[in-house]
Chain A
Amino acid sequence: MVECDFPECTTFGSVIRFALELEKGAAGVYDELSKEPKAASAAEVFRTLSSVHKKRGELLEFTRREKLNEMILEPISELKRENYLIDTKTPMGLDAKAAARFASKIEETSARFYADSARIAKNLMAEAARTMERLGKENMANKAKLEAL
């Protein structure tokens, strides 16, 4: 199980931190699923998606460093932490389809988080909003990939 520490989303930094935890959680789940013997037929897809989520973490760190404008650092109150928590306790013994379904939920929750963050970020941190939008769309594409397994 991947340990994640999801913060309350009250600042730009905590929104990015939340996103980083999502990416860490997703990457960890895919790593574990890729080692599941009963889901061996999907192992390559899971390995690829794990690597995708690790790279997204790097993109988020870049966004935090480069896209923050202290002139418009407004408090954030519309993103409720509990709406976007993901389950990172990967069940044992899942076959490929069940593993894909488990991972798909993470992608779906993440997509929702990024879509909502992007909407809020448009007013507060427009440059970061583009990254959020992109990540949310990627989540949906990942979900489609998983559903096709």
Chain B
Amino acid sequence: MALLSEVKKDYGRLQNFVNGEWIDSTSSKVLDIENPSTGGIIGKVPMSTADETKAAIEAAHEAWWAWRETPPITRARVMFKLKELMEQNFENVARIMVQEQGKTIDEARGETRRTIENVEVAAGIPSLMMGYNLEDGAAEGIDEDAVISPLGVFGAICPFNFPAMIPFWFWPYAVATGNCYIVKPSSQVPLTMNYLTKLIEQAGFPPGVLNVVNGSHEVSDTMMEHPKVKGISFVGSSPVAKYIYKHSAENGKRVQAQGGAKNSLVVMPDANLDRTVSNMLASYYGCAGQRCLAGSNLIAVGNIADTLLKKWIEGTKKIKMGYGLDESVNMGPVISAKAKKKALDYIDGAEKQGAKVIVDGRKAVVPGYEKGHFIGPTVLDQVTPDMTIAKEEVFAPVVSYIRMESMDEAIEFIHKSPFGNAASVYTQSGKTARDFRYRCQCGNIGINVGIVAAMAYFPFAGYKDSFFGDLHGQGQDAIKFFTDRKVVITRWF
């Protein structure tokens, strides 16, 4: 069928958005923005300088007090306006995302919906931000109040896998609570945020409230070190998350740094195998395995292992790969040639360690898209817990099939991982499900659900090396992260 049309063929060189104005970066360092499905260059992104970042921070700080004095209901109204603009431009947002990130149009529409949901939740700020009080709370005739207040300027350092949703896990809550904000989009996928920023501009936020600075570590380091930045939100790999957490904390910032994952999906002997396979396909192959909530290890418990594997292979073979602007495509490419090579190295390494490649996506080619970074769905059988492929994050559509005797063994294996982002169990037994959710030390647990993606009104983060910080993204945690509690004790003579 015909491809959906691209929003633009070439987005040109991107500008920064600072203090309500679109500004060219003076940097001579510029990266190409590649369409990972076609291999074509669709834009250029400047690596902004430390001084440009400092200017954005100063602009945000300058805008802060007036925005903090703006009543929450007025701030909420701007969020409503933004939601309306995002609905009107829904399809464009989704298609730009497909162009720069490679995900399918359904996945991009799903991400756009989740992005809007964060704006919708943040629009409830008058209720979400209320403090509390206690008459005679301090003593007879002396009342005590806890007031929730914003702190100033915050910033986000964003990854490539969700170009729209992840910046929106943070900034709408920060801004709705009365803070000002700097977003540094991923330099691999800055176009979607660039487009959304034009909508943010139209929505009517005062200059300086939301700023976007394109770039790399120079921008990030400046935000982490600047005394006027109160906190940093980050999503990416665990080693970088750990660095961000440490470096920001050394500079007195609040931090929420989300890291990598190695998620196991456990299938019990009593699972409904047909429904389980269908659901798990989306987990392992959705977004070409580049979700931090994607399944990676598939653990078959007991005597269902061979039957499940047969069904899994049948399901895997139905996955249609291609350019995400073809609506019938189930899976797009990985983000870059480098990401592809890394995944292929993991598959080769697993094979050398004794795993059997029973569905091999290493040489997959999509006709017409030979320059795209496609890896076909890949299934490795006879993976054992000690193999590298069972322990490290691959971030590609690669399934490590592991056979175990019991759920206890599966949970023990999950707990040995340094990661703790997500784990799921497939079972028809309430007792088994309850046991799994109670014992499993992961931040997100799925019961017959393979992608445990918290909605905007729930907190999202993992455990262990999957998250450095305490307050999670989204929901009430986001409100707490971007505000402080001020206690007022009042006595009238």
A positions within 8 Å CB-CB of B:
5-14, 17, 64-66, 68-75, 77, 123-124
Would B109 and A65 count as touching, CB distance under 8 A?
A: yes
Interface size of B by Cβ–Cβ distance < 8 Å? 32
B323 CB to closest chain A CB, in angstroms?
13
B positions within 8 Å CB-CB of A:
1-2, 87, 90-91, 104-107, 109-111, 113-114, 275, 278-279, 281-282, 286, 315, 318-320, 327-330, 449, 451-453
Cβ–Cβ < 8 Å partners of B286 in chain A: 70, 73
Cβ–Cβ < 8 Å partners of A10 in chain B: 318, 320, 328-330
Cβ–Cβ < 8 Å partners of B90 in chain A: 65
Query: How far does the alpha carbon of A31 sit from the alpha carbon of B101 in the complex, in Å?
Result: 41
Cβ–Cβ < 8 Å partners of A9 in chain B: 328
A58 CB to closest chain B CB, in angstroms?
14
Would B328 and A72 count as touching, CB distance under 8 A?
A: no
Query: How far does the alpha carbon of A64 sit from the alpha carbon of B275 in the complex, in Å?
Result: 23
Cβ–Cβ < 8 Å partners of A5 in chain B: 1-2
Query: How far does the alpha carbon of A70 sit from the alpha carbon of B106 in the complex, in Å?
Result: 8
Please judge, given known A-B contacts A11-B106, A12-B106, whether A74 and B282 are in contact too, CB under 8 Å. Answer: yes
Name the CB-closest residue of B to A8: B328
Query: How far does the alpha carbon of A17 sit from the alpha carbon of B329 in the complex, in Å?
Result: 13
Cβ–Cβ < 8 Å partners of A72 in chain B: 279, 282, 449, 451
Would A75 and B282 count as touching, CB distance under 8 A?
A: yes
Please judge, given known A-B contacts A8-B1, A65-B87, A75-B319, whether A13 and B449 are in contact too, CB under 8 Å. Answer: no
Chain A to chain B contacts (Cβ below 8 Å), 8 pairs = A10-B318, A68-B110, A69-B110, A70-B109, A70-B113, A70-B453, A74-B279, A75-B281
B358 CB to closest chain A CB, in angstroms?
19
Q: Which of B106, B278, B319, B329 has the most CB of A within 10 A?
A: B106
Name the CB-closest residue of A to B165: A70
20 extra A-B contacts, CB within 8 A, seeds A8-B1, A11-B106: A5-B1, A11-B328, A12-B106, A13-B109, A14-B1, A14-B327, A14-B328, A17-B1, A66-B113, A68-B110, A70-B451, A70-B453, A71-B453, A73-B106, A73-B107, A73-B110, A74-B279, A74-B282, A77-B318, A123-B278
Would A71 and B330 count as touching, CB distance under 8 A?
A: no
Query: How far does the alpha carbon of A7 sit from the alpha carbon of B315 in the complex, in Å?
Result: 20
Query: How far does the alpha carbon of A148 sit from the alpha carbon of B487 in the complex, in Å?
Result: 75
B316 CB to closest chain A CB, in angstroms?
10
Please judge, given known A-B contacts A11-B106, A12-B106, A64-B109, whether A75 and B330 are in contact too, CB under 8 Å. Answer: yes
Query: How far does the alpha carbon of A13 sit from the alpha carbon of B1 in the complex, in Å?
Result: 12
Query: How far does the alpha carbon of A11 sit from the alpha carbon of B334 in the complex, in Å?
Result: 19
Would B319 and A13 count as touching, CB distance under 8 A?
A: no
Query: How far does the alpha carbon of A72 sit from the alpha carbon of B448 in the complex, in Å?
Result: 11
Name the CB-closest residue of B to A66: B113
Cβ–Cβ < 8 Å partners of A66 in chain B: 113
Would B109 and A75 count as touching, CB distance under 8 A?
A: no
- Residue A75 contacts which of B1, B91, B278, B453 (CB distance < 8 angstroms)? B278
Would A71 and B451 count as touching, CB distance under 8 A?
A: yes
Cβ–Cβ < 8 Å partners of B110 in chain A: 68-71, 73
Would B113 and A65 count as touching, CB distance under 8 A?
A: yes
Name the CB-closest residue of A to B103: A70
Would A75 and B104 count as touching, CB distance under 8 A?
A: no
Name the CB-closest residue of A to B114: A70
Cβ–Cβ < 8 Å partners of B87 in chain A: 65
Query: How far does the alpha carbon of A62 sit from the alpha carbon of B328 in the complex, in Å?
Result: 19
Name the CB-closest residue of B to A67: B113
Query: How far does the alpha carbon of A74 sit from the alpha carbon of B278 in the complex, in Å?
Result: 6
Cβ–Cβ < 8 Å partners of A123 in chain B: 275, 278
Name the CB-closest residue of B to A7: B1
Please judge, given known A-B contacts A70-B114, A73-B282, A74-B281, whether A7 and B106 are in contact too, CB under 8 Å. Answer: no
